[in-house]
Structure 1
């Protein structure tokens, strides 16, 4: 790895001298982007007293926590592509898992690619783009993925047994196609394996190794992305993380019902959870629900420990003195709310609100929380601004630097998210008080949802159509139409 990096550095120097891209490169901050899958903002630093997340909490203590951060789609691949490209899903035209970014925008320059063109060494470890849907042009070398298992020994045995059962019965497990058999495993497992014997721990090991290599060449600015697969179901972590939580004392959701008054097609989420091998076929028992919660929280704490190891490596190598750290999760998640488990797949608050923290070296206004509305597409412009690179007008977000300097500032009047549902395309606009959703489908009347985030933060009741909100609805319609007009043919 050392020789590869040295060779890359020589090539960058030559290129930089030719095009002037490396002026004062060693003065530019490095970037460490840490991504976590399916982690809603259920962390101690976000106000949850149950969750043990000391390492993410200490990152928040030295940076800025964005309390109202929203992804552009509550689905792994489109969300990641949107964040890493700095474009809305309606620009990338990727609203499903499968298509690569270059299939719709072959000449696009992504956020890490933009850093690469300005002299940065850019690398990816783990789940940054969706696994199998990467973008080689974004990185200086191809993305690295661990070959360590996602399950522990018991989970792997259960997976093999269920595969045999499917084969004997001639069952094709959902979803049909590549990788479908993975869902035959259990939804959670407290394994005897150690951190580094599992996929996320191994990703951490290699991320730390890369940081140590960077420390040997301080002249080389870097953009390093490290992505963790937890706490996406299956929730697999060493047993010590499960032991942090008393299963019997965990509180269940109080709104185990669908959003009232919502269009039936909109009030749905993914069925992924039901595919896992140990999920009960009938209604889930309270005991099983609490076991799921324990597994989810254990997976969060496992990721938190890996974040701590990366932060320690920054401190131990001296890189912390010149490295911006971003912690970002790809969307929200449901753990029993609205009857949905291990799910997202919609335009509601619980699916689209994510966790995001940005910490600068020796940040003056540190340890602060901002309630300003921010979006994942803002990350690219923010990093470009903080690192002193030329502004890229093609990025569709806005720099959050003003919020880092003063958490009471504002940069967005709304945040936007999309989701396709049964032929409809829904766009949600999250304003300071309201969640306003517009659903369009060719040949069908436009449908709307309206949720009062002040009095109904979990979107339990659709109040669109109530007379007292008529004037507000007209304002919201106009605001959304001015920003994102209804597409022709919809």
Structure 2
């Protein structure tokens, strides 16, 4: 929206009245809606997984820009979000576990929503944008960050007792407490994510005289895999397709998977139940996102609102015999991202540009004209919104810790290179992404690829190790 040009009468000269503009047409500040979906991998129709029912996420991917190569900096909730929300890499933030609140380490850091709040935006947080926070009494709690949000709502305490009943089971006979599914009784608003969508829509409907930044963090498909039964009914268990692993794959580097024994006893029945439950939760969350988008339609908010929808890292559904996150394989590092930016030329297209989650902070500042409160480690990808054919960054970096063991990975357009240990002494992986997208054939010891390995090692040092030494 623009305001009309206004004129002011200055002075009479020789019988004429001279008028000059005092305010050229100015665009109103853009709102921001950031939707984060916990543990969401590109298990979506818009990413080629046609059996998944995800029409609302697909709608945004079609209307806006779908990023095919977006990478998290850490494949676990808290470190990934702490990095994204500060604009720093995990080794710079110093948070590489799920049990340290950001404010314990950086009490005064200006987070992504906070910089908008400090520039006059109304900010609201719903659900899981932050992982751990400190409440107003400085007590450790989930999701809260009073410095970032004018209002905050955690829907979990309000989920109904009915929504905790239904048909389901633990797939490991209780050995892994999280590994369970439930086709729940009740409807969407008997679950926390249904209540989050309802609360966000209420805020969208409220009239206010300033722009907004809304963070909406949905919990599913994070475990335990609980969703109303109607979403499970979309996926008959006998129709679930399992990942096919090649028999001649390279021996796995020791630390690539956290614990191979966790799922070694899984039968095909349990594998299908797990994947079915994950997909049901994706469709449940997609339906909540659809309600939010319908509210935006009615309120005519698309022309004035940047919309970002993303997972917080990747996830395995049986690939490499793993059923979780916490890896720096492509499946652990890559996550879906779709962004709508009003008025840019590339909307309605996809891009293969390499981007990192750490780029989101500078990109949103660039799009809204705000100044950075501190030095940011990412770069603005604003040019990609006008030209999706741009290559993006040369490389994306992801890291993980196995206790005191470091895993550091760099991904270029054609290669993924990973070192375990301080200098790769505990294992090195090199995969040709053109011919081996699943990363099953390790070329690190191939003499033919020694120059590639040397180049990727240098990239890893320049983009990550050197950066760590600087902090």
Same fold (TM over 0.5): yes
What is the Cα deviation at residue 260 of structure 1? 2.8
Which structure 1 segments of 5+ residues have no match? 1-22, 167-172, 175-182, 275-280
Q: Normalised by the size of structure 2, how large is the TM-score?
A: 0.85
What is the Cα deviation at residue 155 of structure 1? 4.5
Instruction: Determine if contact 1:98/1:133 at 8 Å carries over to the other structure.
Output: no
Instruction: Determine if contact 1:84/1:110 at 8 Å carries over to the other structure.
Output: yes
What is the Cα deviation at residue 52 of structure 1? 1.0
Greater mean deviation of Cα atoms: 392-401 or 50-59:
392-401
Instruction: Determine if contact 2:159/2:195 at 8 Å carries over to the other structure.
Output: no
Q: Distance in 1 between matches of 2:275 and 2:115?
A: 40
Residue of structure 1 in register with 2:269 after alignment:
287
What is the Cα deviation at residue 335 of structure 1? 1.0
Q: Look up the SS of the partner of 1:324 in the other structure.
A: strand
Q: Distance in 1 between matches of 2:155 and 2:238?
A: 36
What is the Cα deviation at residue 458 of structure 1? 1.5
Q: How many positions carry a matched residue from both structures?
A: 434
Residue of structure 2 in register with 1:228 after alignment:
218
* Aligned: 1:240 with 2:241: no
CA shift in 2, pair 1:150/1:249, >3 Å: farther
* Aligned: 1:209 with 2:189: no
What is the Cα deviation at residue 337 of structure 1? 0.9
Q: Distance in 2 between matches of 1:50 and 1:359?
A: 25
What is the Cα deviation at residue 461 of structure 1? 2.3
Q: Distance in 2 between matches of 1:47 and 1:157?
A: 30
Residue of structure 2 in register with 1:255 after alignment:
245
Residue of structure 1 in register with 2:254 after alignment:
264
* Aligned: 1:448 with 2:433: no
What is the Cα deviation at residue 410 of structure 1? 2.7
Instruction: Determine if contact 1:78/1:94 at 8 Å carries over to the other structure.
Output: yes
What is the Cα deviation at residue 104 of structure 1? 2.0
Q: Distance in 1 between matches of 2:301 and 2:404?
A: 49
Which structure 2 segments of 5+ residues have no match? 1-23, 133-141
CA shift in 2, pair 1:56/1:264, >3 Å: same
* Aligned: 1:401 with 2:401: no
What is the Cα deviation at residue 256 of structure 1? 7.6
Q: Distance in 1 between matches of 2:231 and 2:46?
A: 18
Q: Distance in 2 between matches of 1:231 and 1:151?
A: 20
Residue of structure 2 in register with 1:464 after alignment:
444
What is the Cα deviation at residue 257 of structure 1? 7.8
Q: Normalised by the size of structure 1, how large is the TM-score?
A: 0.82
What is the Cα deviation at residue 224 of structure 1? 0.2
What is the Cα deviation at residue 441 of structure 1? 4.0
What is the Cα deviation at residue 446 of structure 1? 5.8
What is the Cα deviation at residue 156 of structure 1? 7.8
Residue of structure 2 in register with 1:320 after alignment:
302
Q: Look up the SS of the partner of 1:346 in the other structure.
A: coil
Larger Rg: 2
Residue-by-residue CA offset, 1:86-143 (whole Å, 9 max, x unaligned): 1100110100001111222233111111111111111110111115254322222345
Counterpart selection for 1:135 from 128, 131, 145: 145
CA shift in 2, pair 1:29/1:356, >3 Å: same
Q: Look up the SS of the partner of 2:353 in the other structure.
A: strand
Alignment root-mean-square deviation, CA: 2.8
Instruction: Determine if contact 2:45/2:53 at 8 Å carries over to the other structure.
Output: yes
CA shift in 2, pair 1:390/1:185, >3 Å: closer
Q: Look up the SS of the partner of 2:158 in the other structure.
A: coil
CA shift in 2, pair 1:79/1:186, >3 Å: closer
Residue-by-residue CA offset, 1:244-279 (whole Å, 9 max, x unaligned): 1222122111028897334312333598xx6xxxxx
Q: Where do 1:420-431 residues align within 5 Å? A: 420-431=401-412
Residue-by-residue CA offset, 1:276-316 (whole Å, 9 max, x unaligned): xxxxx972222222122211111101111011111111111
What is the Cα deviation at residue 404 of structure 1? 1.0
Q: Distance in 1 between matches of 2:178 and 2:331?
A: 26
CA shift in 2, pair 1:150/1:452, >3 Å: farther
What is the Cα deviation at residue 49 of structure 1? 1.1
Counterpart selection for 1:191 from 184, 196, 205: 184
Residue of structure 2 in register with 1:6 after alignment:
none
